[in-house]
């Protein structure tokens, strides 16, 4: 089998075929790893991996982040154990709806995520795609004044904040991300620890830029997101069952596209933990920025 890497035509993303992720040899793994760093999103159609094979693939990229204790992969699904689907307004439905806005995974945790692996199992007849946006290309395309403006700014990241925006008020301790700790503070410009490229680090969890008033902060973050998340920096994938995707949360935003929740959508997710040297939140007691150690 010859590995074929077909760029999407956007500034990020490639479709990878001619590969069996369950049987990766060292040379093929090296190819995948370097393509991941180059394209930010790799789509592998028709892999049909078992849960353990998905976990093993994800584990090549780093330690697994546990969204549920002791579970290396978790469902992203609107379907309950009894086969029924979530109801509008339910906690879980609101978390899924929240993920239809641009975000990067776990930016609201003290240690942000490195990468996310998602596989498709049941796909609704319409909608339910995933879309990604390239924050490296977005940073590169900023005008000089904006680049200078964001250079030294940071934002807090909170899942309480982003869910409240869609009317979802959540008690601490209700689920992953609804923690009791202070919201992490993260620079708006992140230096990728493996490639050295700069990227905007924004998304729906970001708010409250120190030094700006609330309205200025919201306007800046909204303007940056609107600018960043447009062609040619976005790519959307129409899932087929068996597809698996990995993306780099350090330089890519993503969102689920809406679909009718009366139809089931069942995905499986493995999240890769960030490197504490690079993805730990800014320590506000330090002048240096541990989040930007190359």
x/- letters, 101..120, toward Fe ion (CB under 5 A): ----x---------------
Of 112 and 191, which has the nearer Cβ to Fe ion?
A: 112
Of 19 and 249, which has the nearer Cβ to Fe ion?
A: 249
Of 142 and 157, which has the nearer Cβ to Fe ion?
A: 157
**33: β partners:** none
For the CB of residue 252, give the shortest distance to Fe ion in the complex, in Å.
11
For the CB of residue 102, give the shortest distance to Fe ion in the complex, in Å.
10
For the CB of residue 270, give the shortest distance to Fe ion in the complex, in Å.
12
For the CB of residue 116, give the shortest distance to Fe ion in the complex, in Å.
6
Of 105 and 243, which has the nearer Cβ to Fe ion?
A: 105
How many residues of this chain bind Fe ion (CB under 5 A)? 1
> Which residues ranging from 157 to 196 are in contact with Fe ion (CB under 5 A)?
none
For the CB of residue 26, give the shortest distance to Fe ion in the complex, in Å.
30
Task: Calculate the alpha carbon distances from 154 to 66, 138, 228, 280 in Å.
Answer: 26, 17, 17, 14
For the CB of residue 135, give the shortest distance to Fe ion in the complex, in Å.
14
For the CB of residue 248, give the shortest distance to Fe ion in the complex, in Å.
13
- Contact predicate 260/126, CB 8 Å: yes
Q: Backbone dihedral region of 204: left (phi > 0), alpha (psi from -120 to 50 degrees) or beta?
A: alpha
x/- letters, 26..45, toward Fe ion (CB under 5 A): --------------------
- Contact predicate 159/177, CB 8 Å: yes
For the CB of residue 57, give the shortest distance to Fe ion in the complex, in Å.
18
Q: 3-state secondary structure string, the chain? A: CCCEEEECCCCCCEEEECCCHHHCCHHHHHHHHHHHHHHCEEEECCCCCCHHHHHHHHHCCCCEECCECCECCEEEECECCCCCECCCCCHHHHHHHHCCCCECCCCCCCECEEEEEEEEEECCCCCCCEEEEEHHHHHHHCCHHHHHHHCCCEEEECHHHHHHCCCCCCCCCCCCCCCCCCCCEEECEEECCCCCCEEECCCCCEECCCCCCHHHHHHHHHHHHHHHCCCCCEEEECCCCCCEEEEECCCEEEEECCCCCCCCCEEEEEEEECCHHHHECCCCCCCCCHHHCC
x/- letters, 67..106, toward Fe ion (CB under 5 A): --------------------------------------x-
Question: Which residue has the closest beta carbon to Fe ion?
Answer: 105
Of 176 and 227, which has the nearer Cβ to Fe ion?
A: 176
Q: Is the peptide bond before 232 cis (omega within 30 degrees of 0)?
A: yes
Of 207 and 247, which has the nearer Cβ to Fe ion?
A: 247
Of 142 and 245, which has the nearer Cβ to Fe ion?
A: 245
Of 133 and 142, which has the nearer Cβ to Fe ion?
A: 133
Binding of residue 248 to Fe ion (CB under 5 A)? no
Question: Which residues of the shown chain bind Fe ion in the complex (CB under 5 A)?
Answer: 105
């Amino acid at each position: 089998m010859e590995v074929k890497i077909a760029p999407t035509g956007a500034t990020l993303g490639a479709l990878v075929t001619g590969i069996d992720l369950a049987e990766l040899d060292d040379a093929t793994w090296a190819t995948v790893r370097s393509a991941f760093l180059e394209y930010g999103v790799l789509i592998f159609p028709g892999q049909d991996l078992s849960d353990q094979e998905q976990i093993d693939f994800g584990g090549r990229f780093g330690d697994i982040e546990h969204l549920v204790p002791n579970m290396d992969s978790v469902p992203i699904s609107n379907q309950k154990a009894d086969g029924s689907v979530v109801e509008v307004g339910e906690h879980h439905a609101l978390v899924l709806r929240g993920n239809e806005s641009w975000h990067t995974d776990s930016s609201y945790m003290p240690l942000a995520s490195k990468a996310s692996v998602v596989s498709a199992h049941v796909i609704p007849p319409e909608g339910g795609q995933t879309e990604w946006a390239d924050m490296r290309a977005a940073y590169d395309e900023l005008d000089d004044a904006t680049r200078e403006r964001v250079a030294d700014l940071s934002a807090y990241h909170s899942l309480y904040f982003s869910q409240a925006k869609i009317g979802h008020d959540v008690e601490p301790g209700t689920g992953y991300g609804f923690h009791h700790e202070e919201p992490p503070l993260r620079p708006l410009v992140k230096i990728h620890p493996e490639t050295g490229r700069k990227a905007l680090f924004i998304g729906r969890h970001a708010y409250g830029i120190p030094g700006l008033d609330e309205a200025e902060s919201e306007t800046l973050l909204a303007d940056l997101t609107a600018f960043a998340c447009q062609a040619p920096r976005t790519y959307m994938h129409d899932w087929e069952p068996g597809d698996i995707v990995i993306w780099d949360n350090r330089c890519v935003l993503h969102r689920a596209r809406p679909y009718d929740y009366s139809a089931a959508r069942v995905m499986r997710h493995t999240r890769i933990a960030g490197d504490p040297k690079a993805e730990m939140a800014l320590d506000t007691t330090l002048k240096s920025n541990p989040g930007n150690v190359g």
